[in-house]
Structure 1
Amino acid sequence: MVEIATRVYNHKWKIDPIVRSLIDTDFYKLLMCQSVFRNRPDTTVTFSLINRTTSVPLANLVDEGELREQLDHIRSLSLSRGESTWMRGNTFYGKRQMFTPEFMDWFERLRLPPYHLERRGDQYELTFEGPWPEVMLWEIPALSVLMELRSRAVLDDMKKFELQVLYARAMTKLWEKVERLRSVEGLRIADFGTRRRHSFLWQDWCVQAMREGLGPGFVGTSNCLIAKNRDLEAIGTNAHEMPMVYAALADTDAELARAPYEVLSDWHEEHDGNLRIILPDTYGTKGFLENAPDWLAGWTGIRVDSGDPAEGAETAIAWWKSRGEDPRRKLVIFSDGLDEEKIIALQRQFSGRVRVSFGWGTLLTNDFRGLTSGDRLAPFSLVCKAVAANGRPTVKLSDNPRKAMGPEDEIARYKRVFGVGEQERMEVVV
């Protein structure tokens, strides 16, 4: 096991580049990329960095030259032979050859496209534009780079023993969470913490701690490189990006209303009925389910990723019942703003009513709250989203209006088309 404090203290850039591989990314990114490669390869998209926590002045903390160096390094990466073999030959969700030969041939030749970086006051403007299958793969590494460079900026003035104590406290903090989760009967939990992790080495340590501490209750990681290196299940399905882009491409209100379901129709065809998890909240969970075609009720489950998690699960249970489905056979994956107390409460509330699972993100892989003076390592909300498709703006409504994005007139139009009324504004934890 890597001695993290010593590695940080003796840091050498070539030993510890922030992103080490094109598969140092979330599994759902690769799954979505294959679907886009097949169904919408000629769509041009723009992704942009959005710092929701404006009190964190990234441009004052992170050196622009070092940021460029890390981004340029990512552009030099390509799949290694071992990584390609893992993707081509491994079994994912019980299916061999999840990735087609055509997609793998393309991915093995891929180098990520150029980026655009400018300083705007105390923040960075970082954008990526080009073919959707290429540009979408910038999201996770871009976030990982900014998050870790911010961590390194805070750690840079710490001496050796101070670093050792810091990481000892962070390890203790995580292990105490693991010990509390051990008592949860029937727990199923995965690491979803790549995009806003403290560092790659820390995420890897957290995954090992979860594996040892929770045993079979720990079901895998969304990080493909760690899954490969640690012989774990790679976990993931799809994200908001696909309905956002499909919706932006719609020419009429009627096409816009159908767009989220077209995404899942393409997804179903892509995966032969596998990976059937619905993410319903892009334009409001309630309206999505009320207008969903009957064939979606037969899918495996739902991921709850915004709004009140208990309310989202109750909405899903009521919908399944209304469509003649038994909720006890369905899976609800909670993945928004989780920490151990919320995980324990949700497991107790819904165990026996549905199959429950958790994707634990930032507060697993980046919870250094209270461990530095001024809380300088506290996690913050940084995202990298598709903001345009073929020159048209994208929109996200979410079940929490604080996560909404897009031009105001388009947000109003989407609310009208999808029947979204008043929403409760909730704090965005991370």
Structure 2
Amino acid sequence: MVDIASRVWNHKWKIDPIVRSLIDTDFYKLLMCQSIFHNKPDTQVTFSLINRSKHIPLAELVDEGELREQLDHVRSLSLSRGESTWLRGNTFYGKRQMFRSDFMEWFEGLRLPPYHLERKGDQYELTFEGKWHEVMLWEIPALAILMELRGRAVLGKMGKFELQVLYARAMTRVWEKIEALREVPDLSIADFGTRRRHSYLWQDWCVQAMQSGLGEAFTGTSNCKIAMTRELEAIGTNAHELPMVYAALAENDEALFNAPYDVLSDWHDEHEGNLRIILPDTYGSAGFLDNAPDWLAGWTGIRIDSGDPATMAQVAIDWWRARGEDPTTKRVIFSDGLDVEKIKELHLQFAGKVNVSFGWGTLLTNDFRRLVPGDQLAPFSLVCKAVSANGKPTVKLSDNPNKAMGPPDEIERYKRVFDLGVQVADEVVV
């Protein structure tokens, strides 16, 4: 097992690049990429970095030269033969050849497109423009790089013994969480922590700890590179990016209203009925479910990523019952800002009513809260989102208005089209 503290102390980035592979990314990005490659190959999209934690002055903490070095390194990466073989030949969710030959031939020749980086005050403007299926693959590397460089700026001021103690304390914290989760019967939990992790080495350590401490209750990781290395299941389906871009491409209000369902229709065809997890909250979960076509009720489950998780889970259960489905045969995946106490609470509340799963993210792979003076390693809310498609702005409403994004006039239009009522704002921590 890697001695992370010594590796940090003896740091040379060419030995430890922040992103070391094109598959050092979340599995859902590759699944979505293939769908976009087949269904929207000519769509031009712009992605942009958005720091929702404005009190973190990234441009003052992160050296621009180091940031460019790391971004340029990602542009030098291509699939290795072993990575290509793993993607082509592995079984994912019980299906062999999840990734088709035409997509894999394209992916094997891919180098990520150029980026635009500019300092604006105490923040960075980082954008990626180009074909959707190419620029979308910048999202996870960009986030991982910014998060880790911010951490390295703090760690670089620490002595060798300080680093040893810091990581010992952080490891103890993770293990205590694992011990607490052992008490949860029939737990099903996966690592979703790539995008805002402390570092690759730390995420890999956390995954190994989960493997050792939780056994079969630990179902896998969203990180493809770690899944391949540790012989784990790669976990993931789709994200808000799909309905956001489809909605931006809509020519009128009627097409806009139908866009979230068009996404899932294309998804169903692309994956031949597999990976049938609904993410309903892009434009409000309640309205999405109320107006959903009947064929969606037959899908496997729902992922809850904003709003009050218990309320949203009950909405899903009630919806299945109203559509003549048995909720006990369905799956609810909780994935928004989870930590141990919330996981235990939700499991206790919904076990037996529905199949409960958890995608544990930032507070698994980046919980260094209160471990250094000034809390300088506390995680913060950084996202990289599609902000326009074919020149038209994208919008996200969410079940939490504090996660909404888009031009104010377009947000109001979307609220009208999707009949979004009063929402309760929750603090966005990660």
- Shorter-chain TM range is over 0.9
Equivalence for 1:202: 202
Equivalence for 1:366: 366
* Counterpart-to-counterpart distance in 2, 1:210 and 1:383: 26
TM-score, normalised relative to structure 2: 1.00
In the TM superposition, what are the counterparts of 1:236-255 in structure 2 within 5 Å? Answer: 236-255=236-255
Equivalence for 2:301: 301
Equivalence for 1:275: 275
C-alpha deviation, 1:422, in angstroms? 1.1
- Deviation digits for residues 343-390 of structure 1 (CA, Å, limit 9, x no counterpart): 000000000000000000000000000100000000000000000000
TM-score, normalised relative to structure 1: 1.00
The residue matched to 1:86 in structure 2 has which SS?
A: helix
The residue matched to 2:204 in structure 1 has which SS?
A: helix
Residue type of the alignment partner of 2:302: I
In the TM superposition, what are the counterparts of 1:153-192 in structure 2 within 5 Å? Answer: 153-192=153-192
The residue matched to 1:343 in structure 2 has which SS?
A: helix
1:388 aligns with 2:388: yes
Equivalence for 1:412: 412
Aligned residues: 430
* Counterpart-to-counterpart distance in 1, 2:14 and 2:398: 40
C-alpha deviation, 1:421, in angstroms? 1.1
* Counterpart-to-counterpart distance in 1, 2:142 and 2:286: 32
C-alpha deviation, 1:13, in angstroms? 1.2
Equivalence for 1:425: 425
Following TM superposition, the consecutive aligned residue runs of length 4 or more in structure 1 with deviations greater than 4 angstroms are: none
Equivalence for 1:119: 119
* Counterpart-to-counterpart distance in 1, 2:13 and 2:174: 27
Equivalence for 1:289: 289
Equivalence for 2:398: 398
C-alpha deviation, 1:259, in angstroms? 0.2
The residue matched to 1:314 in structure 2 has which SS?
A: helix
The residue matched to 2:313 in structure 1 has which SS?
A: helix
In the TM superposition, what are the counterparts of 1:4-23 in structure 2 within 5 Å? Answer: 4-23=4-23
The residue matched to 1:84 in structure 2 has which SS?
A: helix
Equivalence for 1:145: 145
Residue type of the alignment partner of 1:400: N
The residue matched to 1:282 in structure 2 has which SS?
A: helix
1:256 aligns with 2:242: no
C-alpha deviation, 1:293, in angstroms? 0.2
* Counterpart-to-counterpart distance in 1, 2:37 and 2:84: 17
C-alpha deviation, 1:27, in angstroms? 0.1
C-alpha deviation, 1:315, in angstroms? 0.3
The residue matched to 1:117 in structure 2 has which SS?
A: strand
Equivalence for 2:221: 221
Equivalence for 1:347: 347
* Counterpart-to-counterpart distance in 2, 1:215 and 1:79: 30
C-alpha deviation, 1:30, in angstroms? 0.1
- Deviation digits for residues 34-63 of structure 1 (CA, Å, limit 9, x no counterpart): 000000010000000000000000000000
* Counterpart-to-counterpart distance in 2, 1:77 and 1:248: 31
C-alpha deviation, 1:127, in angstroms? 0.2
C-alpha deviation, 1:323, in angstroms? 0.1
Q: Give the aligned CA root-mean-square deviation in angstroms.
A: 0.3
Equivalence for 1:53: 53
* Counterpart-to-counterpart distance in 1, 2:373 and 2:257: 49
Equivalence for 1:44: 44
The residue matched to 1:124 in structure 2 has which SS?
A: strand
* Counterpart-to-counterpart distance in 2, 1:9 and 1:135: 34
Percentage identity across aligned positions? 78
* Counterpart-to-counterpart distance in 2, 1:358 and 1:429: 18
Residue type of the alignment partner of 2:208: Q
* Counterpart-to-counterpart distance in 2, 1:162 and 1:252: 58
* Counterpart-to-counterpart distance in 2, 1:103 and 1:258: 27
Residue type of the alignment partner of 2:292: A
Structure 2 gaps, min length 5 = none
The residue matched to 2:203 in structure 1 has which SS?
A: helix
C-alpha deviation, 1:401, in angstroms? 0.2
C-alpha deviation, 1:14, in angstroms? 1.1
1:136 aligns with 2:136: yes
* Counterpart-to-counterpart distance in 2, 1:253 and 1:246: 13
Equivalence for 2:84: 84
Residue type of the alignment partner of 1:356: V
C-alpha deviation, 1:429, in angstroms? 1.7
C-alpha deviation, 1:10, in angstroms? 0.3
The residue matched to 2:38 in structure 1 has which SS?
A: helix
* Counterpart-to-counterpart distance in 2, 1:251 and 1:262: 14
The residue matched to 2:283 in structure 1 has which SS?
A: coil
* Counterpart-to-counterpart distance in 1, 2:351 and 2:170: 30
Residue type of the alignment partner of 1:60: E
Equivalence for 1:94: 94
* Counterpart-to-counterpart distance in 2, 1:407 and 1:424: 20
* Counterpart-to-counterpart distance in 1, 2:363 and 2:161: 25
Residue type of the alignment partner of 2:114: P
